[in-house]
C-alpha cells in the first residue's frame, strides 16, 4: 500500500523557493530577447593573479573568429596557424625540467589522462625535446601576460605548453587532450589563451536528494576538461558532533575527502554550503530548541533563530566540522529566503534584538544581516571568505554586509547588481536563466547562445562593464526530487556546462549558429576517465533473482534497460514492477531509510521504478535510481531500502531464465 504524501516543511519551503523563482521565468525570457551581441571582458593578468576575490578588469575582446583554429571548448580565438602538423605517436614523451615540480605534477596528471583516453603510456622525462614530444613548462615570470590560469600553446614538430603557474599549464594540457580527441594530428600553430573571468562554475544542491559520488566525480573531470574551476556543493556531511541531524541523504567524510582530492588534482575548487539561517531543516528538524518560534508559539523547522547564541554556536560548530574535509578558502552560508512565506512581524523578538544591538532605528532585517556578519567574521578566523545569495539584500536594513563578502546574484530585488558592485562586493552571476531544475525549469542554452548572453546579464539589469563581476555559474536544483534521474540530469546539462565554460573563459558565440556550437561540443566529448553510468551490466532478458544469503528471492524478473541507463524489474507472474514509495516524502521523494520495496503497477515514466545494478563479488546490488538507497534483506526476508553505510546491501544472483 502507498503511504500518504507528507511533505516536510522543508520540502514546502524549497519548492516555494523555486516556484517563486519560476515567476521570473517570463521576465527572464523577455530580458533575454532584448540582449544583443555583446563582448565579454578579458581579465587582466593582475586581476587573475589576485584570485577570485578580485574581479577581472573590463576590456572589450575582439570578436570571435575561430577561422582555422582547431576545435576546442572553450574555443581558441587568437589561433595563429603555422605550416605543418604535430603528429602524436607511440614514441611521444612528456618533457619537463627536473627542477620544475609544478610542471612534473601537471605532466603526471596528463600522462594518466592520455592513458585513460586510449593513447597508451606516455613517460615523463627530463631533458631536451625531440620531434613528437610534449614539453610542459611553468614560468612564474610570465604571470603578467598569462595570469594565474592562462597558458601558451604551440604545436609544430613538438607541442609546447607554458603556464605562469601549474594551473595555467594544466589548462594547456586540457586543450591538448581535446585536440587529440579527434585524432593524433594537430595543425601547427600558436595561441595564448587567458580566461576572461576568475570564477567559472557549477552549483549543485545535493542538499536533500543524494547524488552519487561517481556522478560528482564525472562532473569534476568534465568541468576541468572544459576549464571550469569552481564547484559549489550544498550538501550534508554525516556529522560526528550532531548525530541527531544525520537524516538521509548525507555524505560520509571519506566520500568528501576523495571528491576534494580529485578536485585538487584537476584544479577544481570544491566550496561547501550549509544554507542558513533559512532552509536549515536538514540540520535542525530534530532540534526544536534552535528553531525560530513565531508569536503564536509555533516553531519553524526550516529557520534558525538568529537571535539565539546557541543557534550561532551550533552553526559555527558545523563550519568547524566541514573544515575537516573541505580545505577551500571560501564558505557559502546561503542566506536566502529566510522569511519565505512569512514576515518579520510574526517574530517581534527579532526586532527587539536588532534595536537592542543597533539602536532605535534598527530594522528586523538588521538582525538577519547581523547573523550574516557574525558568520563572516567566524569564517574569516578559519581562513575562509564568505559567500551569500543576493535576495536577502533588499535594502530594508541599516547594517551593511561585511566588506569582501561575495554575493551570488540570482534574484531581481530592489538592490541592483550595479549597486552591489558600487558598494565593493564581488559579484557572481548565478541567474535564474542558468538554472536546471529536476522536473522543472531548464536553462534554454540555445536562446542564451543566440542572444550572446554573458556574465554581465543579470536578472533585472544588464551591465555595460564586467568590472566587479567575478564570473558565472549554472545551478542544479532538486525541487522535484523524482522528476529526473541523475543520468537524465547529466544528459540535460551537457550543453549548458559547455556554454557556461565558453562564455566565462572566452567569447559568448564562437560559432555562427547554435548548431555549430553543438557540433563543437560533441566533437570534444567527455573528459578522459569519464565513467559511463548508463551502461547496464547485464543483458536484457528474464532472470531468476535470489538473495545470495538465501533469505528471499524475487522470482522471475524481466529486466529491461530504461532510456537513461537504469533497469526496471517486472515480475513475470504478477506483471508488477519493483518500486520504493513508502514513508515520509521530501521533495516528492521517499527518503526515509528502512521503508519497504513494494510491487506496483508498471509505469515507464515512474522514476522510482528504476534501479541501478552494480556488479559486486557474488552477484549484483540493487540501488534505487532516485533515493540512492540499496535493497537490504532482513533476517525474515523483507526488502527494505537503506544507505549502504547503515545496512549491508543484499547481493543478488541472476540466473537467466
Residue range 507-566, pLDDT digits in tens: 999 999 999 999 999 999 999 999 999 999 999 999 999 999 989 989 999 999 999 999
> Residue 77: its pLDDT value, please?
86
Contact 95, 133 (CB under 8 A): yes
Strands 585-586 and 589-590: antiparallel
Share of the chain above pLDDT 70, in %: 90
**Span 78-114, pLDDT tens digits:** 999 999 999 999 999 999 999 999 999 999 999 999 9
Environment class of residue 286 by beta-carbon count within 10 Å: exposed (0-12), middle (13-18) or buried (19+)?
middle
288 pLDDT higher than 50: yes
Q: How confident is the model at residue 67 (pLDDT cuts 50, 70, 90)?
A: low
Annotated catalytic residue: which of 337, 459, 486, 488?
Answer: 337
192 pLDDT higher than 90: yes
Task: Please say if 459 is a catalytic residue.
Answer: no
CB atoms within 10 A of CB 324: 12
- Helices 494-505/213-225 angle, 10° precision: 40
> Residue 277: its pLDDT value, please?
98
Mean pLDDT score of the chain? 90
For CA atoms 558, 561, 563, 568, give the dihedral sign: positive
Length of the chain: 657
> Residue 250: its pLDDT value, please?
97
Environment class of residue 481 by beta-carbon count within 10 Å: exposed (0-12), middle (13-18) or buried (19+)?
buried
479 pLDDT higher than 60: yes
**Span 118-155, pLDDT tens digits:** 999 999 999 899 999 999 999 999 999 999 999 999 99
SS3 214: helix
Q: How confident is the model at residue 66 (pLDDT cuts 50, 70, 90)?
A: very low
Rg (CA), the chain: 26
**Span 204-231, pLDDT tens digits:** 999 899 999 999 999 999 999 999 999 9
60 pLDDT higher than 90: no
Environment class of residue 427 by beta-carbon count within 10 Å: exposed (0-12), middle (13-18) or buried (19+)?
buried
Q: Which residues of 507-522 are buried (b: 16+ CB within 10 A; e: fewer)?
A: bbbbbeebeebbebbe
**Span 490-519, pLDDT tens digits:** 999 999 999 999 999 999 999 999 999 999
Nearest 5 degrees, angle CA 417-CA 420-CA 424? 135
> Residue 14: its pLDDT value, please?
34
Contact 57, 467 (CB under 8 A): yes
Strands 435-437 and 469-477: parallel
How large is the greatest C-alpha to C-alpha distance in the chain, in angstroms? 79
Across the strands, what pairs with 273?
Answer: 234, 332
Q: How confident is the model at residue 448 (pLDDT cuts 50, 70, 90)?
A: very high
Q: Which residue has the cell 549548458?
A: 496
18 pLDDT higher than 50: no
CB atoms within 10 A of CB 562: 19
Q: At 368, list the grid cell.
A: 538577519
Q: How confident is the model at residue 268 (pLDDT cuts 50, 70, 90)?
A: very high
Strands 385-389 and 435-437: unpaired
Environment class of residue 15 by beta-carbon count within 10 Å: exposed (0-12), middle (13-18) or buried (19+)?
middle
Ramachandran angles phi, psi of 159, nearest 5°: -105, 135
Measured distance between the N- and C-terminal CA atoms of the chain, rounded to whole angstroms: 29
SS3 530: coil
> Residue 182: its pLDDT value, please?
84
Share of the chain above pLDDT 90, in %: 87
161 pLDDT higher than 50: yes
> Residue 56: its pLDDT value, please?
37
Distance CA 591, CA 454 (A): 38
Q: Residue 340's closest CA among 390, 270, 392, 379?
A: 392
Q: How confident is the model at residue 183 (pLDDT cuts 50, 70, 90)?
A: confident
Amino acid at each position: 500500500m502507498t503511504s500518504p504524501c507528507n511533505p516536510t516543511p522543508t520540502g514546502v519551503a524549497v519548492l516555494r523557493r523555486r516556484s517563486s523563482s519560476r515567476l521570473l521565468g517570463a521576465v527572464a525570457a523577455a530580458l533575454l530577447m532584448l540582449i544583443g551581441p555583446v563582448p565579454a571582458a578579458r581579465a587582466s593578468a593582475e586581476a587573475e593573479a589576485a584570485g577570485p576575490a578580485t574581479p577581472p578588469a573590463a576590456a572589450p575582446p575582439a570578436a570571435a573568429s575561430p577561422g582555422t583554429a582547431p576545435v576546442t571548448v572553450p574555443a581558441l580565438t587568437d589561433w595563429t596557424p603555422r605550416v605543418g602538423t604535430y603528429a602524436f605517436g607511440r614514441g611521444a614523451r612528456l618533457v619537463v625540467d627536473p627542477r620544475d615540480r609544478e610542471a612534473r605534477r601537471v605532466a603526471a596528471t596528463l600522462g594518466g589522462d592520455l592513458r585513460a583516453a586510449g593513447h597508451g603510456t606516455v613517460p615523463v622525462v627530463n631533458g631536451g625535446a625531440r620531434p613528437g614530444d610534449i614539453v610542459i613548462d611553468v614560468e612564474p615570470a610570465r604571470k603578467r601576460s598569462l595570469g594565474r590560469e592562462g597558458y601558451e600553446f604551440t604545436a609544430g614538430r613538438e607541442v609546447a605548453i607554458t603556464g605562469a603557474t601549474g594551473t595555467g599549464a594544466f589548462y594547456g594540457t586540457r586543450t591538448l587532450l581535446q585536440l587529440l580527441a579527434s585524432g593524433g594530428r594537430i595543425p601547427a600553430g600558436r595561441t595564448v589563451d587567458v580566461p576572461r573571468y576568475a570564477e567559472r562554475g557549477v552549483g549543485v544542491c545535493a542538499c536533500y536528494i543524494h547524488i552519487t559520488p561517481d556522478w560528482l566525480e564525472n562532473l569534476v573531470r568534465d568541468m576541468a576538461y572544459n576549464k571550469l574551476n569552481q564547484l559549489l556543493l550544498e550538501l550534508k556531511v554525516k556529522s560526528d558532533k550532531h548525530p541527531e541531524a544525520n537524516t538521509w541523504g548525507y555524505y560520509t567524510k571519506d566520500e568528501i575527502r576523495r571528491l576534494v582530492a580529485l578536485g585538487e588534482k584537476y584544479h577544481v575548487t570544491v566550496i561547501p554550503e550549509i544554507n542558513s539561517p533559512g532552509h536549515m531543516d536538514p540540520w535542525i528538524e530534530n532540534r526544536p530548541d534552535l528553531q525560530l518560534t513565531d508569536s503564536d508559539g509555533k516553531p519553524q523547522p526550516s529557520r534558525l533563530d538568529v537571535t539565539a547564541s546557541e543557534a550561532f554556536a551550533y552553526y559555527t560548530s558545523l563550519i568547524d566540522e566541514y573544515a575537516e574535509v573541505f580545505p577551500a578558502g571560501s564558505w557559502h552560508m546561503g542566506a536566502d529566503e529566510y522569511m519565505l512565506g512569512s514576515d518579520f512581524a510574526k517574530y517581534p523578538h527579532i526586532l527587539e534584538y536588532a534595536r537592542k544591538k543597533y539602536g532605535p532605528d534598527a530594522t528586523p532585517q538588521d538582525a538577519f544581516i547581523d547573523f550574516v556578519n557574525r558568520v563572516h567574521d567566524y569564517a574569516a578566523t578559519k581562513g575562509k571568505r564568505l559567500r551569500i545569495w543576493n535576495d536577502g539584500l533588499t535594502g530594508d536594513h541599516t547594517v551593511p554586509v561585511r566588506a569582501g563578502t561575495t554575493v551570488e546574484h540570482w534574484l531581481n530585488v530592489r538592490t541592483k547588481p550595479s549597486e552591489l558592485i558600487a558598494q565593493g562586493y564581488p559579484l557572481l552571476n548565478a541567474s535564474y536563466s542558468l538554472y536546471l531544475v529536476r522536473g522543472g525549469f531548464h536553462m534554454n542554452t540555445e536562446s542564451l547562445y543566440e542572444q550572446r548572453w554573458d556574465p554581465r546579464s543579470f536578472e533585472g539589469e544588464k551591465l555595460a562593464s564586467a568590472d566587479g563581476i567575478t564570473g558565472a555559474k549554472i545551478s542544479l536544483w532538486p525541487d522535484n526530487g523524482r522528476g529526473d534521474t541523475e543520468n537524465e540530469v547529466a544528459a540535460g546539462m551537457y550543453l549548458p556546462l559547455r556554454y557556461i565554460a565558453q562564455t566565462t573563459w572566452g567569447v559568448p558565440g564562437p560559432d555562427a549558429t547554435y548548431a555549430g556550437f553543438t557540433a563543437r561540443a560533441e566533437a570534444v566529448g567527455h573528459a578522459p576517465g569519464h565513467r559511463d553510468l548508463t551502461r547496464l551490466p547485464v543483458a536484457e532478458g528474464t532472470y531468476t533473482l535470489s538473495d545470495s544469503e538465501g533469505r528471499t528471492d524475487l522470482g522471475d524478473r524481466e529486466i529491461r534497460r530504461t532510456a537513461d541507463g537504469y533497469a526496471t524489474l517486472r515480475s513475470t507472474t504478477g506483471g508488477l514492477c519493483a518500486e520504493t514509495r513508502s514513508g515520509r516524502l521530501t521533495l516528492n521523494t521517499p527518503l526515509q531509510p528502512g521503508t519497504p520495496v513494494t510491487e506496483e503497477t508498471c509505469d515507464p515514466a515512474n522514476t522510482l521504478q528504476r534501479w541501478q545494478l552494480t556488479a559486486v563479488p557474488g552477484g549484483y546490488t540493487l540501488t534505487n535510481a532516485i533515493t540512492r538507497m540499496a535493497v537490504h534483506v532482513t533476517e525474515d526476508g523483507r526488502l527494505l531500502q537503506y544507505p549502504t553505510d547503515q545496512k549491508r546491501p543484499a547481493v543478488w544472483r541472476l540466473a537467466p531464465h
